[in-house]
Amino acid sequence: MSYACKSLINTSNELASREKRLSICLEAGGFSFAEVTLKGQVLTLGEAEGHHAYTLTGVMSDVKEFFSQVNIRPLGYAQMELIVLSEISTWVPDELYSSLSNRHYMKLVGGGAESILSCHSQQLSSTAIYAADEQVVTAFKVAMPGVNVMHQHAKLAQMAPLSVQHPLMVAHWRKGRVDVAAFRDGKYLFGNTLQFNYGNEAVYHLIDIMKSHGLEDADMELMLCGDANRERYAACLPYFPKVTIFSPIDLAMQAAEFRGLPAYRHTLILL
């Protein structure tokens, strides 16, 4: 099997699949996953590391074997989602979108990938076009019938209601990248994945986004998640009215196993 279990936390609570959701975040070097009840309690959180097999059937077999080993049967959940991390993407409004033009949309943002996927956001009335490994995504879809495949920016867009009280930016950090989403008045204004070579370079990008989208209000908030740390928090602090570390769940309501969890590192699957 190509995947090894890097970490796994679970509780002894047993609930029927229809009472919980299963979220998976797919990356180049494996994936993370979480089972969460419909009331927001985390039951399982884990990470799988390794390379994806070279064939569709190989990936399917590895996915099924891995979840069998961690006692998860990816069927019958109230919700199942596969979040795909991509480096290049763009949004196209419904009134302009044609599936025949996906490759053209990607070329407009400098993407020349052979494998191009899309996911529709009803919330934004738009479709995200993004580069990804179609074989791996298809294998997960077959292994998890009914799973909803979505791009990371479609997931971050779900945070729009948090901006009703004040303007909001979200910075989801990962290796050499930061996924940025900007909101105001409950509406999604901006989303993009930015590359950086050193921490301050990313902060300069965030400042530019704040200014160019008119978010320099005194009560504007920058939320950090993903691979956020003290250094990144400190680097952002002088330039933004309010900087916080985002927790996608209420830790106080969680079982003891999860109360010390750095939930911000797993925002995409816990949100």
- pLDDT, residue 113, reads 67
Rounded distance between C-alpha atoms, residue 204 and residue 188, angstroms:
21
Q: Which CATH number fits domain 159-245: 3.40.50.300, 3.30.420.260, 3.90.1150.10, 3.20.20.70?
A: 3.30.420.260
Burial 175-197 (b: 16+ CB within 10 A, else e): eebbbbbbbbeeebbbbbbbebe
CB–CB of 203/239 below 8 Å? yes
Strand partners, 222: 169, 243
Question: Helix %, strand %, coil % for the chain, to 5?
Answer: 35, 35, 30
- pLDDT, residue 81, reads 97
Residue with tokens 């943002």: 109
- pLDDT, residue 259, reads 85
- pLDDT, residue 109, reads 85
- pLDDT, residue 12, reads 75
| Residue 215, both tokens | 């978010």
- pLDDT, residue 229, reads 92
pLDDT in tens, 56-107: 999 999 999 999 999 998 889 999 999 999 988 999 999 999 999 999 998 8
- pLDDT, residue 252, reads 86
- pLDDT, residue 172, reads 97
Give pLDDT < 70 ranges for the chain: 113, 199
- pLDDT, residue 200, reads 84
Query: In what helix (H) or strand (E) does residue 179 lie, and over which residues does it extend?
Result: strand 177-184
- pLDDT, residue 126, reads 95
- pLDDT, residue 216, reads 87
SS3 170: strand
- pLDDT, residue 222, reads 97
